[in-house]
C-alpha cells in the first residue's frame, strides 16, 4: 500500500436515489433491483441523507409495515463529523482525502457508508467500506 489511494477512486456515483416520502417496501425493491447496499435520499436535487441496508433491517426488526413506513421515518440524516468523538450517523468525507482516512472516519462514526463531497462541498457520491477495501487491495 505504498501508493496513496484517494477516496475519489472508490466513489460509486450511481447509487439509486429515493424520495423520503417513498415506502420502506419501495426502498427494499430499489436496493434489490440495483444490488445496492445504500440509497441516496433526496428531495428534488437536495441530498437529505441515505438509507442503508442496516437502516432497512432495523426498521423491519421494529415491526414497521413495509408498505406504510416512509423512508423519512428511518433514513439516516446526513451530518458532518464536527470534531473528534462526535458520532453522527451519516458522515461526509472530502473527495481528495485518502482511503485510510475514510476507514478511520467510518470507524469513528460507526458506519459502513460515507457521503463524499466535492470541491464546493456538494455531494458527489457515496463510498462503502467494501469499495474502500477493494481500492486498497489494488496493486
Question: Domains of the chain: which residue ranges?
Answer: 7-137
Q: What is the pLDDT of residues 8-46, one digit of tens each?
A: 888 766 778 899 999 999 999 999 999 888 898 887 777
98: which strand partners? 6
Contacts of 119 (CB under 8 A, 6+ apart): 95
* Region at 32 (left for phi over 0; alpha for psi -120 to 50; beta for the rest): alpha
Mean pLDDT of the region 88-92: 60
Decide which of 3.40.50.10090, 2.60.40.10, 3.10.580.10, 2.60.40.1930 is the CATH code for 7-137. 3.10.580.10
pTM over 0.95: no
Amino acid at each position: 500500500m505504498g501508493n496513496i489511494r484517494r477516496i475519489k477512486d472508490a466513489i460509486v456515483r450511481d447509487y439509486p436515489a429515493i424520495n423520503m416520502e417513498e415506502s420502506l417496501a419501495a426502498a427494499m425493491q430499489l436496493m434489490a433491483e440495483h444490488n445496492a447496499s445504500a440509497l441516496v435520499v433526496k428531495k428534488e436535487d437536495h441530498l437529505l441523507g441515505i438509507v442503508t441496508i442496516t437502516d432497512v433491517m432495523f426498521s423491519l426488526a421494529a415491526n414497521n409495515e413495509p408498505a406504510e413506513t416512509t423512508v423519512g421515518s428511518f433514513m439516516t440524516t446526513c451530518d458532518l463529523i464536527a470534531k473528534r468523538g462526535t458520532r453522527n450517523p451519516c458522515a461526509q468525507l472530502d473527495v481528495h482525502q485518502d482511503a485510510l482516512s475514510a476507514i478511520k472516519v467510518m470507524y469513528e462514526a460507526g458506519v459502513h457508508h460515507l457521503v463524499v463531497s466535492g470541491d464546493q462541498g456538494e455531494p458527489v457520491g457515496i463510498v462503502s467500506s467494501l469499495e474502500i477495501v477493494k481500492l486498497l487491495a489494488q496493486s
